[in-house]
Amino acid sequence: MSAAAAPRAGSWRNALFVAPYLAVYLALLLYPLLAGAWLSLHKADLFGGEVFVGIENFQRLTRDTVFLQAVRNTFYFVLLTVPALATISLGLALALNRPTRAAAVFRGVFFSSSVLSVTIVTLIWRLVLIPDGGLIANLLHLAGRPPIPLLSHPDLVLPAIALTTVWWCLGLPMMLYLAALQQVPAELYEAAALDNAGRWKTLTHVTLPSIRRTIVLVVIIQCVLQFQLFGQAQLLTQGGPNGASRPIVLFLYEVGFRRWDIGYAAAASEILFAVILIATLAQYLTSRGKGAER
């Protein structure tokens, strides 16, 4: 073996260390992503017949009122949940960021909902939301008011699902915020106290700038998650009434696995993928621009 060949052989051996990850990444992420994009250009069903149709599936989608309603529903749902999740979990984290036993107990309580499966969560919230003997209906009854059909009113059904989702998803962002808050040096708060900063000034000028990266992270994670709403809508309302709570993923499911039109479903999924990508990229770029001098 020549002296020059030795390092090259070594670098091949180095590649072996990343090979297992690379194989899984290629087989389970990159290949399906490309295969999906390729599928979206075909008229295909689950039994095999595949005909190349170019962008016809996408053209059909732009005229499909059911799909367009699902897109509107999804954006509305993201708007309802992401800001609420980002702010409420921040409020909880700020309130529970102290070394007392009570704070530890409440951290556990608020996080506990996150470990439940979507089936349990929707079961619990069905008991809260149904007009026939549900918790909210009972409370309204005590106040002498008639029950509200939260899950069957087209204007109320998405807010009701959003409420369920916020309750379910609060735990993780709260934990992320808590971890970030505990990284803020105590000396900064002491300096702010000596600088005569009140509670609000300290929050806006010391705490929030210090955990800015985590706020961006939470918003991006929640965007990605909430754009993919499926389980809660499927289990609580099946997308009803009249499609008022059908999100994009439910549309995908219905088209792909009920009507077996998987080429069309793949095209819709590519659009969802692009939406999520653009939304998260935009947030990432704007936040990076602001903090660049750091």
Which positions lie near other proteins, rule CB under 8 A? 185, 187-188, 190-198, 201, 205-206, 209-210, 212, 291, 293-294
Phi, psi at 152, each rounded to 5°: -125, 10
Nearer to other proteins, 75 or 189 (CB): 189
CB of 77 to other proteins, least distance (A): 33
Give the integer Cα–Cα distance in Å for 132 and 7. 74
CA distances for 187 relative to 123, 190, 241, angstroms: 47, 5, 55
Nearer to other proteins, 32 or 190 (CB): 190
Question: Buried b vs exposed e over 208-245: b needs ≥16 C-beta within 10 Å?
Answer: eebbeebbbbbbbbbbebbbbbebbbbbbbebeeeebb
List helix spans (H) across 64-196. 65-96, 101-112, 118-129, 135-142, 157-169, 171-181, 186-194
CB of 186 to other proteins, least distance (A): 9
CB of 194 to other proteins, least distance (A): 5
Nearer to other proteins, 68 or 191 (CB): 191
* Partners of residue 45 on adjacent β-strands: 261
Nearer to other proteins, 83 or 209 (CB): 209
Count of helix runs (H) and strand runs (E) in the chain: 16, 2
Nearer to other proteins, 7 or 198 (CB): 198
CB of 292 to other proteins, least distance (A): 11
CB of 255 to other proteins, least distance (A): 47
Local structure of 60: helix, strand or coil: helix
Nearer to other proteins, 153 or 212 (CB): 212
Q: How many CB atoms lie within 10 A of CB 82?
A: 25
CB of 105 to other proteins, least distance (A): 21
| Residues 290/216, Cβ–Cβ less than 8 Å | no
Of 108, 107, 280, 83, the closest CA to residue 181 belongs to 107
